[in-house]
Amino acid sequence: MSTPVQLPFEQEDVLRLAPRLRELQSQGAVHRVRTPDGGAAWLVTGHAEVRQLLDDDRLSRTNPDLAAQDPGSALLASLLGGFATDHARMRALLEPHFSPERMAELRPYVEKQTGQLLDQLAERTPPVDLREAVALSLPIQVMCEWLGVPQEDKDRFGGWTRDAAGVGDPVRSKQGLGGLFGYCKQLVAEKRRNPGDDAISRICATEGITDDEVLGLTALLLFGGYETTVARIGTSIVLLLSDVDQWRAVVDDPALIPGAVEETLRMSMPNPHNGGMPRYAVTDFEVDGVVIRAGDPVLLNIIAANHDEAVFPAPGRVDVTRDTVASLVFGHGAHHCVGAALARMQLQVVLTQLVARFPSLRLAVGVDELELRTDTLIGGLVELPVTW
């Protein structure tokens, strides 16, 4: 067997697949790798194989052995525990809160907040960091409104979610998770006493649901719905600005914006130090001629899968008219991201208003000067300097 490939891959261009990852993908769908902490794992890069394994009961989201050794991992496992043990029921509890009707009710608030942020942006002298001006601010305001979190608390739980998603400081990450859980416990208790017209209150009102289940769902929504949207707003905008023709296309025809959102989501880059979505084999099985043993860590690289030339011709080129129905950015099957509609809606609103208000928007630095965040599981840009 060949020597395992060492992770992470060197990301030379924030908008392009790492060259070594592209090379591996051209050689096959499954590869033996060594993680940054020295452990062995399987990296899956082929679209068909990643799609299959995203919805495969032979893989588990949690690793009990790791959780036993690492309290931080145990805490994160408890965050996902409900989904691991009763996934269908947890999804059934969440899905009504992401319905088209609920998103339609929330959209005017998103439009209003986006408009206010762009008003503030217009008053500033460029160049301006668009990540700081828009991407960091909007998702946390939306999460507060939708979940029923007091706006005055947004900086507190925003800080906890950022710390929890961090990869550079395990102690800080554990503290962030602990702070998030503690806050959510108080929030759920308050919603039980004084329910409002918000997602957490409606979840609390579900017949038979326990406080622990509400707590887990609340923490999961806060953890999963903030940092990911911050990162995707930034990368979606920079992907369009990096191709003048594609930016001009959506400026001239805003009807292309939903397709532009899907295309830039397909191409969005995660933390380059993150080899893929971690799973653990619960039994022996074979994929693409490779035998995976029970207990083996498996990394499902969705970004590589979304750059598979067999599915997406010229995958490194932005094309807002591309058919992206096969994109795996939000997972697949029973594990398709339940919050996809909320993320899509925010991105659509931001792009719609941005192209209308700032049609001459452009990058204030070269793409080669942009950096990806390596201190978080979610990735995204460090800064996004723009001018107009």
Task: Supply the pLDDT for residue 14.
Answer: 87
pLDDT value at residue 75: 43
Quick one: pLDDT at residue 155? 85
pLDDT reported for residue 76: 46
What sign results for the dihedral spanned by CA atoms 258, 261, 262, 264?
Answer: positive
Report how far residue 82's alpha carbon sits from residue 212's, in angstroms, rounded to the nearest whole number.
9
H or E element, residue 280: strand 277-281
The pLDDT value recorded for residue 69 is 41
222-250 pLDDT, tens digit per residue, is: 777 888 899 999 999 999 999 999 999 99
DSSP 41-64: EEEE--HHHHHHHHT-TTEES--H
Residues whose CB falls within 8 Å of the CB of residue 194, separated by 6 or more in sequence, listed in order = none
pLDDT at 174: 85
Give the model's pLDDT for residue 218. 81
Q: Check: CB of residue 261 under 8 Å from CB of residue 344.
A: yes
Ranges in the chain, pLDDT < 70: 1-2, 64-87, 270-274
pLDDT at 70: 40
DSSP state letters, 307-323? T-TTTSSSTTS--TT--
> Which CATH architecture fits 5-387?
Orthogonal Bundle (1.10)
